[in-house]
Structure 1
Amino acid sequence: MTAFDWQRMLLDDFPVLFLGEVALRALFAFVVVFLFLKVSGRRGVRQLSLFELVVILTLGSAAGDVSFYEDVPLLPIAMVFATLLLLYRLTVLAMSHSIRFSNWMEGKPVTIIEDGLYALNSLNRYNISSDEFFMELRQQGVEHLGQVRLGILETDGDVSLYFNPPEAIKPGLSVLPPEHRPAYERMPATAVYACTRCGHTQLINSQQQALCPRCRHAVWSLALNNQRLR
């Protein structure tokens, strides 16, 4: 083999007309995937459930094979798409008739914030890191957990938030990036601090160390009490 052989790198032993066949195959794959999404009832793919993600990845694999490999005929790939569509419809039908099966396939909404605190059972059971949705909270105008009455992690990965009214906002854990949310084990001043793991708040004196009574964590951040900007 010769290095930097442009004939091999660009087209290898295929004739130039094969580029036209590749274009036709790519068009075929595009149309079939588009029709699949239309027939299946999907209106968008911003967030996919686990089940839908598996279907899309399988579609992408089949579409890639038929687009680039000259020895992959079109009709078997069409059968792959038809089979996936049938399986999709049957699975959706089964999910609509069985809540247990639906929960097993796509999961259930998970409460992650309750009354300004992280739900410890959810964090531990589902191995959720608070940093995973801090960005989502900031994008929805949240500065600290005391502004949030209820937060639910949906099955598609979105976070649904229900806010406290202004008069009910209390001190809470900051969701700002680490450079704007310094953490302490020994408090620099007497103030209300928030546990960086669960959000519990309490007054801690200057130069004092404390264990969180809720989760036994020893790292704290200064609690914020700002109103939510609309």
Structure 2
Amino acid sequence: MLSFDWHRFLLNDQPATFLFEVVVRVLLAYVVVFTFLKVSGRRGVRQLSLFELVVILTLGSASGDVTFYDDVPVLPVVLVFIVMLALYRFTTFLTARSVRFSKWIQGDVVTLIKEGLYVLESLDKLNISEDEFFMELRQDGVEHLGQVRLALIEVDGQLSIYFYDDDEMRAGLSVLPPEHRQDFAQIPFTALYACTHCGQTEEIEKGQSRTCSRCKETLWSVALKTRRLH
């Protein structure tokens, strides 16, 4: 009968004293990563740009290896952090002095919604689903696009929303999930409808099938006129 080798399972060929070395390695990696974040001036992960995320992932790989592999020496890993910090500083220096380089590294601010309608050019080039946008809009208290004057996708991926005043608000496409919003190809009753692709609103009579005059799509949802809860 085979017996289970607990020592191989828990430590493999390492002596028990290696556990103390792991503690020291983890503390060192923690201090180096924390120092990098402090020196870079970032207060949180959601503020990271694409370049900074690449840097953090690279540092995470280096710090992960040094924490539990006994054949990974510490000094080369420290050198990795020093070089990455130098690259980060050099990149931020170029970003501050070149608009073209800054856009290449960080990307552009994208206008997602303007005057209660999706910006079609933005929809075509963004690699993100409508459901994700709707979720973020709902989390900011949006029930339909007619409440939104302007929505921007910042370079860090966050959504900045500017609302209409209540007296300027218009009817718009619902951002509620499918169980709270019905979509129609053939109109069941006469009402004001919103195109589910671009948000364009049109009065459509019962029994009609309508092609959106703005984006040429054919699916519609009843436009909402509810005011935003402050």
Q: Normalising by structure 2, what TM-score?
A: 0.96
Q: Retained in 1: the 8 A contact 2:196–2:220?
A: yes
Change (3 A) 1:21 1:138: same
SS in 1 for 2:92: helix
Counterpart in 2 of 1:158? 158
Distance 1:136 1:21 in 2: 44
Counterpart in 2 of 1:13? 13
Distance 1:176 1:13 in 2: 56
Distance 1:176 1:80 in 2: 47
Q: How many residues align?
A: 229
Amino acid paired to 1:143: E
Distance 1:97 1:119 in 2: 30
Counterpart in 1 of 2:35? 35
Unaligned stretches of 5+ residues in structure 1: none
Q: Retained in 2: the 8 A contact 1:191–1:205?
A: yes
Amino acid paired to 1:31: V
Change (3 A) 1:3 1:223: farther
Counterpart in 2 of 1:202? 202
- In the alignment, does 2:85 pair up with 1:82? no
Distance 1:80 1:3 in 2: 43
Amino acid paired to 2:58: T
Q: Which moved more, 1:207-216 or 1:45-54?
A: 45-54
Counterpart in 2 of 1:214? 214
Amino acid paired to 2:137: L
Counterpart in 2 of 1:122? 122
Identity of aligned residues (%): 60
Distance 1:21 1:15 in 2: 11
SS in 1 for 2:160: strand
Distance 1:144 1:119 in 2: 15
Distance 1:113 1:214 in 2: 14
Distance 1:5 1:201 in 2: 70
Q: Deviations over 1:125-176 (max 9, x none)?
A: 2344322211111111100000000000001111101111111111100001
Amino acid paired to 1:17: T
Change (3 A) 1:208 1:5: farther
Q: After TM superposition, where is structure 1 displaced by more than 6 Å over at least 4 residues in a row?
A: none
Superposed counterparts of 1:145-184, under 5 Å: 145-184=145-184
CA displacement at 1:46 relative to structure 2: 2.6
Amino acid paired to 1:148: V
Change (3 A) 1:11 1:128: closer
Distance 1:10 1:192 in 2: 67
Change (3 A) 1:104 1:3: farther
SS in 1 for 2:45: coil
CA displacement at 1:4 relative to structure 2: 5.0
